Amino acid sequence: MSTRTPTADLFTQTSEAAAGALPTPFDDLGAVVEAHRLRVYRFLLASLRDADVAETLTQETFLRAWNSRSSFRGECSLATWLTRIALNLLRDHTRTNRFRFWRRVSAQAVDATEIASFLPHRDSALDTRLIATEQVGLLWQAVDTLSERQRTIFLLRFVEEMELSEIGAATGLPLSTVKSHLYRALAHIRERYSKLSRKAV
């Protein structure tokens, strides 16, 4: 049984057609998709909380990366470059819709605990994971109240575990601005999370 993802299949023929071209990180596009797809999808899912839209934008991210591959000059990591493309697509998507999927409540919306399963866990202890999963709902409510920019920086830092310099490269923001927004986001989340936790007791 094949384990290839739909995104990888989408680009198989394109990669084969590129044989003989100048070497780029995209010579083996299937490998690029395999290595970075989950990270891109996880960020989009956490941002949108809509699995279908996240999957669509994930595929569009790699398609746009392929179409603009000649502009990738190695000035940042491939992961950072792909995140920048995904972020631009996310911005375009939210600007062209009258409502934001982050705040939409519908039968198709992804529950916060489902997103928790995609989050990286350095500590594999089962009890630690269970506690994190139980608390993620409250945390998500707090994150939901952040401004769009603060939320993006928070997700890139703590969901994608990107360094501040990488976040700056992906968002096009100065490092000092990234730090400032992250500091404000954390202060806001701590306050909101504390209030929500007390209400939940």
Whether the per-residue pLDDT at 7 is higher than 60: the answer is: no
How much is the pLDDT for 127?
47
Give residue-wise pLDDT tens across range 172-187: 999 999 999 999 998 8
Whether the per-residue pLDDT at 16 is higher than 70: the answer is: no
Whether the per-residue pLDDT at 20 is higher than 80: the answer is: no
Shared-domain flag, residues 87 and 22: yes
Contacts of 122 (CB under 8 A, 6+ apart): none
Q: For residue 53, what are the domain limits?
A: 1-110
Q: Which of 110, 143, 176 finishes a domain?
A: 110
Whether the per-residue pLDDT at 99 is higher than 70: the answer is: no
Higher-confidence residue of 55 and 144: namely: 55
Shared-domain flag, residues 20 and 74: yes
Give residue-wise pLDDT tens across range 102-126: 444 433 444 555 555 555 554 544 4
The answer to whether the CB of 145 falls within 8 A of the CB of 68 is no
Q: Which of 110, 145, 174 finishes a domain?
A: 110
Q: What is the DSSP string of 120-183?
A: --S---HHHHHHHHHHHHHHHHHHTTS-HHHHHHHHHHHTS---HHHHHHHHT--HHHHHHHHH
Whether the per-residue pLDDT at 98 is higher than 50: the answer is: no
Q: Residue 68 has what DSSP assignment?
A: T
Mean pLDDT of 55-75: 90
Q: How many CB atoms lie within 10 A of CB 92?
A: 12
- The total of structural domains in the chain comes to 2
Q: What percentage of the chain has pLDDT greater than the value 70?
A: 65
Mean pLDDT of 146-167: 90
Phi and psi for 43 in degrees, rounded to 5? -65, -45
Count CA atoms closer than 13 A to 26's CA, side-chain side. 27
Cα–Cα distance measured from residue 57 to residue 39, given in angstroms and rounded to the nearest whole number: 13
Q: Chain-wide mean pLDDT for the chain?
A: 76
How much is the pLDDT for 82?
95
Shared-domain flag, residues 9 and 26: yes
27 by DSSP, 3-state: which? coil
Mean pLDDT of 191-199: 75
Shared-domain flag, residues 6 and 98: yes
Higher-confidence residue of 101 and 7: namely: 7
CATH number at residue 179: 1.10.10.10
The answer to whether the CB of 169 falls within 8 A of the CB of 79 is no
